[in-house]
């Protein structure tokens, strides 16, 4: 039975979903779940939840909880990362508040933009330390990486370590479900090929029994049925010819076209929720105590429902050989011809007992590749900064960020970066000039 290590297991809701998914497979029901977090209290909650899931399913896994990361990783077959470095406070709040002083407004700030860059710079060093532990303690581990910024983190891991890694998100399956709802066709009847970079992958095909469903998606626009919360992505579909993954609120900050100083009309017209991530975090924190109590003491039978996360499917396929397709973020070793070699791409991957085997995509339509290149520029420079600790590359990353560059001049960008580095203090490693 495999040993599965959860890093950042105090992300209780996410850990709960994955643990439930894993333990509902008979072949994995006696796995060892090793939970690790640096926050003892949250770790304890997740441990209680793990036992409740096992009891609800009537299965007998080995459940361990430890604040000692090396102990958790020792001999692991799978490691799953779901941690956050710097937390909501101070990390996220700084990433929103300081840019705002420069007039730079963001929605989510976890992928790209100045917030995504800083989040990447906080996360990558920790991620690499973990991988160094894995190289010593479990060199053959399969690392399922859920932490944002996905592309930057995975790219840094593949450049700097030997750990077999796949970056996972739910935006491909999530968006496919939303589109299926919009056109009123059951998702089970739909098949698609989607490819690109994380949070900016496009459905190259979207079909039912060989019938192209894009005309039905176009009808959603013609019939004025675009959901209010999804105006940005439908607009992009109109302009590019393909539908993008993730969400409208995310997408609005990956390009220079939607959040512009002196253009409040755009915010209104595209219904862009500025500071959305701040609101989500606040709501989650406010609800946490109640949720924690409910999860720890709830008398009701703990209902385990399968989530749509890929994690358990990958482990099950690797263990049993049942072939599955997942969308994985992997190194672009010739998978997408018109994106840079080695960058992190999101493509369909075959998973069976032979391992995680990315499928070859070839060329993307040129307008999609061009748009992704603008984001990959920022990722490349952030990774470069994190791996070399050269401060200049942080400025370069921010300078190349499409949204930041559209809003600020070069002096502003440099000052902004300086302010952020100072504010994050010891959450960042020492950078050399």
Q: Which residues are near another protein by CB under 8 A?
A: 140, 188, 191-193, 205, 207, 210, 321, 323-325, 333-335, 337, 348, 350, 352-355, 357-360, 362
User: How would DSSP label each residue in 84-152?
Assistant: -SSIIIIIIHHHHHHHHHTT---S--SSSHHHHHHHHHHHHHHHHHHHHHHHHH-TT-EEEE--SSHHH
State in angstroms the smallest separation of the CB of 207 from another protein: 7
Nearer to another protein, 366 or 425 (CB): 366
State in angstroms the smallest separation of the CB of 57 from another protein: 25
Nearer to another protein, 135 or 282 (CB): 135
Which tokens hold the place of 130?
Answer: 């973990």
User: Are 104 and 406 in contact, with CB atoms under 8 Å apart?
Assistant: no
Q: Sign of dihedral through CA atoms 250, 253, 258, 259?
A: positive
User: Are 336 and 195 in contact, with CB atoms under 8 Å apart?
Assistant: yes
**For 349, phi and psi rounded to 5 degrees?**
-120, 135
Q: Which of 51, 170, 199, 403 is catalytic?
A: 170
Of 192, 68, 191, residue with least CA distance to 130: 68
State in angstroms the smallest separation of the CB of 96 from another protein: 39
Annotated catalytic residue 250: no
User: How far is residue 95 from each of residues 105, 120, 171, 416, measured CA to CA in Å?
Assistant: 10, 11, 23, 10
The three-state secondary structure class of 167 is: strand
Nearer to another protein, 359 or 388 (CB): 359
Measured between alpha carbons, how far is 291 from 93 in angstroms, rounded to an integer?
23
Nearer to another protein, 115 or 358 (CB): 358
Of 216, 197, 198, 196, residue with least CA distance to 206: 216
Q: Sign of dihedral through CA atoms 380, 383, 387, 389?
A: positive
Which residues, other chains included, contact 185 with Cβ-Cβ below 8 Å and sequence gap of 6+?
Answer: 208, 213, 216
Measured between alpha carbons, how far is 349 from 317 in angstroms, rounded to an integer?
12
Of 259, 274, 281, residue with least CA distance to 92: 281
Nearer to another protein, 202 or 257 (CB): 202
Nearer to another protein, 354 or 388 (CB): 354
User: Are 116 and 254 in contact, with CB atoms under 8 Å apart?
Assistant: no
Nearer to another protein, 241 or 362 (CB): 362
State in angstroms the smallest separation of the CB of 350 from another protein: 4
State in angstroms the smallest separation of the CB of 325 from another protein: 5
State in angstroms the smallest separation of the CB of 357 from another protein: 4
Which tokens hold the place of 182?
Answer: 């919009």
Nearer to another protein, 304 or 356 (CB): 356
Measured between alpha carbons, how far is 127 from 146 in angstroms, rounded to an integer?
11
User: Are 236 and 244 in contact, with CB atoms under 8 Å apart?
Assistant: yes
State in angstroms the smallest separation of the CB of 342 from another protein: 13
State in angstroms the smallest separation of the CB of 205 from another protein: 6
> Which active-site residues does the annotation give?
170
């Amino acid at each position: 039975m495999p040993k599965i290590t959860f890093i950042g297991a105090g992300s209780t809701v996410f850990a709960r979903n994955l643990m439930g998914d894993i333990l509902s497979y008979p072949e994995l029901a006696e796995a060892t779940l090793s939970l690790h977090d640096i926050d003892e209290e949250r770790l304890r909650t997740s441990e209680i939840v793990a036992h409740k899931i096992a009891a609800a399913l009537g299965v007998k896994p080995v459940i361990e909880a430890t604040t000692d990361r090396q102990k958790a990783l020792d001999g692991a077959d799978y490691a799953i990362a779901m941690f956050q470095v710097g937390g909501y406070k101070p990390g996220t709040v700084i990433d929103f508040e300081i840019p705002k002083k420069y007039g730079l407004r963001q929605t989510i700030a976890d992928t790209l933009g100045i917030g995504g860059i800083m989040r990447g710079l906080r996360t990558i060093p920790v991620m690499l330390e973990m991988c160094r532990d894995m190289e010593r303690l479990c060199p053959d581990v399969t690392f399922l990486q859920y932490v944002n910024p996905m592309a930057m983190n995975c790219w840094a891991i593949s450049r700097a370590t030997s750990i077999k890694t796949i970056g996972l998100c739910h935006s491909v399956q999530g968006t496919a479900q939303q589109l299926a709802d919009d056109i009123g066709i059951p998702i089970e009847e739909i098949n698609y090929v989607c490819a690109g970079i994380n949070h900016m992958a496009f459905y190259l095909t979207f079909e039912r029994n060989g019938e192209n469903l894009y005309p039905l998606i176009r009808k959603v626009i013609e019939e004025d049925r675009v959901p209010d919360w999804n105006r940005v992505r439908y607009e992009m579909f109109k302009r590019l010819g393909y539908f993008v993954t993730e969400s409208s609120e995310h997408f609005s900050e990956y390009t220079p076209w939607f959040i512009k100083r002196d253009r409040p009309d755009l915010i209104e017209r595209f219904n862009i929720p500025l500071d959305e991530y701040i609101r989500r975090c606040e709501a989650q924190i406010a609800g946490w105590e109640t949720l924690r109590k409910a999860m720890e003491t709830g008398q009701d039978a703990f209902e385990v429902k399968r989530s749509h996360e890929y994690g358990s499917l990958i482990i099950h396929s690797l263990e049993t050989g049942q072939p599955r397709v997942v969308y994985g973020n992997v190194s672009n070793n010739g998978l997408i011809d018109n994106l840079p070699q080695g960058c992190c791409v999101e493509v369909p991957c075959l998973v069976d007992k032979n391992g995680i085997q990315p499928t070859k995509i070839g060329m993307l339509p040129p307008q999609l590749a061009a748009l992704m290149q603008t984001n990959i520029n920022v990722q490349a420079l952030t990774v470069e900064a994190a791996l070399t600790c050269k401060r200049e590359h942080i400025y370069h990353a921010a300078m190349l960020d499409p949204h930041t560059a559209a809003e600020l001049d070069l002096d502003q960008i440099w000052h902004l970066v300086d302010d952020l580095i100072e504010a994050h203090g010891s959450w960042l490693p020492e950078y050399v000039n």
